[in-house]
């Protein structure tokens, strides 16, 4: 059975969840039914963290310090979200689309690429040389950007 659901219905809800990548079992769930509900369940002191990153932190908080990888959909990815999760002791992978603050989008979007499968990366390393964060551009039919 296929059911088409409007992404952000006016009289509906939005589901925010965390699931295990191996089993597919949903581990955390937040159902947001209205803007008032969103304000009620959101963290009061986000510390200037964008909404998507704050929601993500709340969803993955039980696994802080485990070095597990959060593979996120297009609602969450940003350099800020990656930085926040690194500070929590988690790892992060996400396809960057619109939240590009701090992401080297202009540099990666001008890289020379010839064929499908080509890629370019930029890394941010610690003074000791350990890679802390990576920005990746990969070409499928069009360019895809990851952090």
Query: pLDDT tens-digit profile of 30-53?
Result: 887 776 666 665 655 567 788 888
Would residue 102 be called left, alpha or beta, if left means φ above 0 and alpha means ψ between -120 and 50 degrees?
Answer: left
pLDDT on residue 17: 86
If one counts the domains in the chain, the total is 1
Give the Cα separation of 37 and 42 in Å (integer).
8
Q: E strands, 43-130, where?
A: 69-72, 91-94, 119-125
Judge whether 92 lies within some domain: yes
Question: Is a pLDDT exceeding 60 seen at residue 29?
Answer: yes
Judge whether 8 lies within some domain: no
pLDDT, average across residues 129-133: 90
**What is the three-class DSSP state of 52?**
helix
- The range of the structural domain enclosing residue 122 comes to 49-146
Instruction: Tell me the percentage of the chain whose pLDDT exceeds 70.
Output: 82
Judge whether 132 lies within some domain: yes
């Amino acid at each position: 059975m296929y059911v088409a659901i409007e992404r952000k219905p006016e009289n509906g809800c939005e589901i925010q969840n965390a699931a295990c990548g191996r089993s597919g079992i949903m581990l955390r769930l937040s159902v947001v039914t209205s803007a008032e509900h969103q304000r009620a369940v959101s963290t009061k002191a986000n510390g200037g963290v964008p909404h998507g990153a704050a929601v993500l932190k709340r969803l993955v908080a039980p696994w802080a310090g485990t070095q597990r990888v959060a593979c996120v959909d297009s609602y969450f990815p940003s350099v800020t979200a990656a930085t926040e999760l690194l500070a929590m002791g988690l790892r992060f992978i996400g396809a960057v689309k619109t939240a590009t603050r701090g992401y080297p989008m202009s540099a990666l979007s001008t890289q020379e690429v010839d064929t499908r499968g080509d890629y370019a990366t930029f890394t941010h390393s610690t003074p000791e040389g350990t890679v802390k964060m990576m920005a990746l551009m990969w070409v499928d039919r069009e360019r895809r950007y990851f952090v």
